[in-house]
A and B are shown apart, each in its own frame.
Chain A
Amino acid sequence: MSIAWNAFTPASALIGGAIIGGAAALFAVLNGRIAGVSGILGGLMRPQAGDISWRIAFVAGLVAAPLVWRLLAALPEIRVDASVPVLVAAGLLVGVGTRYGGGCTSGHGVCGVARASPRSIVATLAFMAAGFATVYVARHLIWQ
């Protein structure tokens, strides 16, 4: 392992992370809920009266962030290297896995870990380990 010092952005990572934590804090303090994107989006698959608008509003907020950003400044670099077939497979796996696992990087990784939930800590270790293993296989065993 070697650290990519040219790619490492400690300041923006910490500040951006604090903003993400701020959003989760806002949501907990005002709405009393976990800012877990997979659960918020997935709940729309089985819509129930009175349980729809806050979900759509949160999702709309996420989509609106880059739209508003672009009015004021250029968007930061965004690069998607995966091919379309890989994106389809990845999307399906993320869509199924996050629902079975009851959360994703936001619900388990940020909120759950912040609450010191043992369930979320286990889930976070599991998806991190699977992510590390997948990238290792894809980049160092298949590609080389």
Chain B
Amino acid sequence: MYTAASFTAGFVFGLGLLVSGMANPAKVLGFLDLAGAWDPSLALVMAGAVAVGAAAFTFMKRRTRTLLGAPVLLPSARRIDRRLILGSLVFGVGWGLAGICPGPALVLAGTGSAKGLVFLVAMIAGNGIFEFFERRAAPGPAHT
């Protein structure tokens, strides 16, 4: 049940990326190109997603169990540190180079796009590099 719900959420997420045009890297880059012919679509995608998401997160705020009875595991971290900012800046540079972020990378792979697969493999390699340095710094289970 839990796994089926997870699959459904991923599937609906993927449909949303396709409908919104955000699975199309050229369209994402059109948003990031402020100095060129700017396509504001991504801002409206965020607005739509945040509006719907906010309602659900407000509903969950008072609950300790989900509708399926699972424990609520929403993050509670509040610290704004160097890792958060540097990591996000590095991510933003990669995002700006190709117009692809992790969700669309998986959708692109599902379309059979060879270039999408190249990006996905490199991204997973990047995850591996992160894990390598994390484990060297502090062996033990990850928190995410």
Chain A residues with a Cβ under 8 A of chain B: 1-4, 7-10, 12-35, 37-39, 41-43, 45-46, 48, 53-55, 57-70, 75-82, 84, 86-106, 108-111, 113-119, 122-124, 126-136, 138-140
Task: Contacts A66-B14, A75-B111 given; indicate if A115 touches B95 (C-beta within 8 A).
Answer: no
Q: Is the CB of B95 within 8 A of A131?
A: yes
Task: Contacts A23-B10, A23-B16, A28-B60 given; indicate if A101 touches B113 (C-beta within 8 A).
Answer: no
Task: Contacts A63-B107, A82-B98, A104-B103 given; indicate if A132 touches B34 (C-beta within 8 A).
Answer: yes
Least Cβ–Cβ distance between A130 and chain B, in angstroms: 3
Q: Which residues of B contact A89 (CB under 8 A)?
A: 94, 97, 122
Q: Which residues of B contact A9 (CB under 8 A)?
A: 21, 41
Task: Contacts A13-B20, A101-B84 given; indicate if A64 touches B118 (C-beta within 8 A).
Answer: no
Given A30-B68, A131-B95, 18 more A-B residue pairs with CB atoms under 8 Å apart are A13-B48, A17-B50, A24-B13, A30-B9, A32-B70, A60-B10, A79-B24, A93-B90, A94-B100, A94-B123, A98-B87, A101-B85, A108-B88, A118-B80, A123-B85, A130-B92, A132-B32, A133-B92
**15 A-B interface contacts by CB (under 8 A):** A18-B49, A24-B56, A31-B5, A32-B65, A42-B130, A61-B10, A62-B10, A94-B91, A101-B90, A102-B144, A115-B57, A116-B54, A130-B89, A134-B93, A134-B97
A26 nearest CB neighbor, chain B only: B9
Grouping DSSP codes into helix (H, G, I), strand (E, B) and loop, the B interface class, with mixed when no group exceeds half, is: helix
Q: Is the CB of A26 within 8 A of B54?
A: no
Q: Which residues of B contact A28 (CB under 8 A)?
A: 53, 56-57, 60, 66, 74
Partner of B74, one of A33, A132, A134: A33
Partner of B20, one of A15, A26, A77, A96: A15
Least Cβ–Cβ distance between A136 and chain B, in angstroms: 6
Q: In chain B between 44 and 64, which residues have their CB closer than 8 angstroms to a CB of chain A?
A: 44-57, 59-60
Q: Is the CB of A80 within 8 A of B129?
A: no
Q: Is the CB of A139 within 8 A of B33?
A: yes
